[in-house]
Amino acid sequence: MNTIELLDALQLKAKKDPELRKALFATRSEKNPVDAFCKKCQEEGYPIYTMDLIQAGEEFYASMRRSTNGGGENSPKLEGEDDFYELFFATLEN
């Protein structure tokens, strides 16, 4: 499983488990929230690491950028990188 698939699986589990959901949201108030989040993921059996999480958004964005008008410097600016960490919590809030 790649990082995005792991996040999706964890998100589904957290939607069914209120204690896990609460624990994941609690990581956001830590001094290093992304590190705390990744540590909690690992404790739950989801091998998500800080750099993997950051890189997943960057790779996705780069792939989208390359796919528009041949990519490169002349490709149109996209709205922004997908931040899968933020998207994870935004979806879990709903």
pLDDT of the residue at 80: 47
pLDDT tens series, the chain, 94 aa: 889 899 999 999 999 999 999 999 999 999 999 999 999 999 999 999 999 888 876 666 566 556 655 555 555 555 545 578 888 999 998 7
List the chain domain ranges: 3-69+80-93
Q: Which two tokens stand for residue 38?
A: 């990744």
All residues at 6 or more sequence positions from 47 whose CB lies less than 8 Å from its CB, including other chains: 6, 41
pLDDT of residue 19: 97
Q: Of the candidates 4, 5, 28, 24, which has an alpha carbon nearest to the alpha carbon of residue 16?
A: 24
Closest by Cα among 83, 13, 92, 91 to 45? 13
Which pLDDT score, from 0 to 100, does residue 82 have?
Answer: 58
pTM for the whole thing?
0.75
